[in-house]
Structure 1
Amino acid sequence: MMESATNLRERRRQESAERLIELAREWTARDGFTGYTVEELCEAAGVSRRTFFNYFASKEDAVLGILAPHGDDELTQTFLDGGSSAGETISDALVDDFVALHLARWEIVAPSASDVRAMKAAIEREPRLHTRIFEMIQANEQRDIALIEQREHLEAGDLRASTLVHIVGAFSRATAKEYFADHGDAPPSIGHFSRIFEQRIAAARELLI
């Protein structure tokens, strides 16, 4: 019973967040940020203002689908558990484990082709969203650099941690561009994203090792 109630709450949370994201993108593309209020958005989605700010820090984050951290604690812990012991060299599985973490996160948040089109329309109306995207990328990179340093017991600023994060991030952005170009209006396949991504990782291994 407890597990069922937990799953129900999670499903409702996801549905409410998805509705807010959908409306925020639609209204921003149509009217810009000044054309509506958070209160109007919440009323249309059937949630409270408090619920909105439990999910998102701002209208910008709602449009971009940037939810407050939630849902990948278990993935993060699994990644941390695979690290080396203090004083040892970097674990052999670091690259594979970080790639697996990245792909698992993608499965949680993977947007559809229509999601991407709606977000692009909103960004065209509000170009300042590009600044928020850049901030989000930087914040995520710093989070993952710190995560690798923690797992491998590295000193802050160790270039190996930041290099891995930057390589995976660059490959992810290139993969996403190819992924949506391939699919057009067809329903995306998460497995296809993984295959394209892993091909890039394999090419990098061949070049660098």
Structure 2
Amino acid sequence: MALATGKTAQRRQRTRFELTAAARRLTAEHGLSGFTLEELCASVGISRRTFFNHFASKEDVVVGVALDDDDEALDGYASSRRDPRLPVLSTVFDDLGALVVERVENVGLTRGQAADFKAALDREPRLFGAMMRQGDEQRRRIVAAVASHEGLDEGDPRIDVAVTLLTGLVQRAFERFFSAEGRADERFDAVLDAQLAIARGLFAASTPSASPTPAAAPTLPADHDRKAL
């Protein structure tokens, strides 16, 4: 049964990858109104009905937001618990970074495929609105998942700071991934890992134990003090 479930998940992921790749290419070439859902579905050999088992709209398939996106991975993270031997939020960057990478892998975004995505976004700026709406909802869900995993209140300001920092790093990684030159087969996770490594290094260097101890002020002889007066 586990094998069948695995094969079903692989087929679902492959169908979504093919739909997203085709939708980005068609949008880059013709715009969102330049092709129909029937034409998109025919290009990957599925029915319109099957399309709506995966995505809610053209905009969502181009952005790569599936109907049940991230539910399993994020819910699994939320239901797990932090190792009590570790400090609070000590692994949050690694944990959330892995979830981001998993999502990107689910829509198959290598640097070569990113070119079509960027061209689609350039041609249809309204797609950024769909991305922003998804981002707001995703942030809410991530904050709730972190709170559950760490055993903290959702209003804990440390969670807000951690998610804000990671969001900025992910955004910067996407900017570098889309704009920087490199191998066509380079993966997004390699770019994000580099950003996270730099952040870890900065935080490690700024810990109190790594800070130099201020030198003590020299003690002057008593007669020196009197002469100075």
Which of the five TM-score ranges fits, normalised by the shorter chain?
0.7 to 0.9
Of 72-81 and 131-140, the range deviating more from structure 2: 72-81
Q: Which one of 96, 105, 112 corresponds to residue 99 of structure 2?
A: 105
For the structure 1 residues 183 and 38, does the alpha-carbon distance in structure 2 shift closer, same or farther, using more than 3 Å as the test? same
Report matched runs for 1:76-91 at 5 Å. Answer: 76-78=75-77, 80-83=79-82
Give the aligned partner of residue 139 of structure 1.
Answer: 137
Give the aligned partner of residue 94 of structure 1.
Answer: 89
Give the aligned partner of residue 187 of structure 1.
Answer: 185
Contact 2:112 2:184 in 1 (8 A): no
Contact 1:79 1:101 in 2 (8 A): no
CA distance in 1 between counterparts of 2:178 and 2:31 reads 25
CA distance in 2 between counterparts of 1:21 and 1:186 reads 18
Give the aligned partner of residue 124 of structure 2.
Answer: 126
Q: Which one of 155, 158, 178 corresponds to residue 160 of structure 1?
A: 158
Let me know the Cα RMSD of the aligned residues.
2.7
CA distance in 2 between counterparts of 1:92 and 1:206 reads 18
CA distance in 2 between counterparts of 1:149 and 1:106 reads 17
For the structure 1 residues 205 and 132, does the alpha-carbon distance in structure 2 shift closer, same or farther, using more than 3 Å as the test? farther
Give the aligned partner of residue 54 of structure 2.
Answer: 55
CA distance in 2 between counterparts of 1:74 and 1:124 reads 30
Give the aligned partner of residue 31 of structure 1.
Answer: 30
Q: Which has the larger radius of gyration?
A: 2
Once the two structures are TM-superposed, the CA of residue 39 in structure 1 deviates from its matched residue by: 2.3
For the structure 1 residues 53 and 60, does the alpha-carbon distance in structure 2 shift closer, same or farther, using more than 3 Å as the test? same
For the structure 1 residues 137 and 93, does the alpha-carbon distance in structure 2 shift closer, same or farther, using more than 3 Å as the test? same
Is 1:41 matched with 2:40? Answer: yes
Contact 1:32 1:126 in 2 (8 A): yes
Flag the structure with higher helix content.
1
Is 1:148 matched with 2:128? Answer: no
Once the two structures are TM-superposed, the CA of residue 75 in structure 1 deviates from its matched residue by: 6.2
Spell out, residue by residue over 1:63-101, the C-alpha distance to the aligned partner (whole angstroms, 9 max, x if none): 11122335663564345422388xxxxx615231x2222
Once the two structures are TM-superposed, the CA of residue 49 in structure 1 deviates from its matched residue by: 1.9
CA distance in 1 between counterparts of 2:206 and 2:75 reads 29
The SS at the match of 2:52 is: helix
CA distance in 1 between counterparts of 2:194 and 2:29 reads 36
Contact 2:31 2:124 in 1 (8 A): yes
For the structure 1 residues 156 and 79, does the alpha-carbon distance in structure 2 shift closer, same or farther, using more than 3 Å as the test? closer
Of 162-171 and 185-194, the range deviating more from structure 2: 185-194
Query: Could you tell me which amino acid in structure 2 is paired with residue 172 of structure 1?
Result: V
CA distance in 2 between counterparts of 1:78 and 1:31 reads 39
Structure 1: gaps (5+ residues):
86-90
Contact 1:38 1:59 in 2 (8 A): yes
CA distance in 2 between counterparts of 1:132 and 1:142 reads 16
Count the aligned residue pairs. 203
Spell out, residue by residue over 1:168-207, the C-alpha distance to the aligned partner (whole angstroms, 9 max, x if none): 1111222333355555234215345313322223314534
Q: Normalised by the size of structure 2, how large is the TM-score? A: 0.76
Contact 2:55 2:66 in 1 (8 A): yes
Structure 2: gaps (5+ residues):
209-229
Q: Normalised by the size of structure 1, how large is the TM-score? A: 0.82
For the structure 1 residues 75 and 135, does the alpha-carbon distance in structure 2 shift closer, same or farther, using more than 3 Å as the test? closer
Q: Quote the sequence identity (%).
A: 29
Query: Could you tell me which amino acid in structure 2 is paired with residue 105 of structure 1?
Result: L
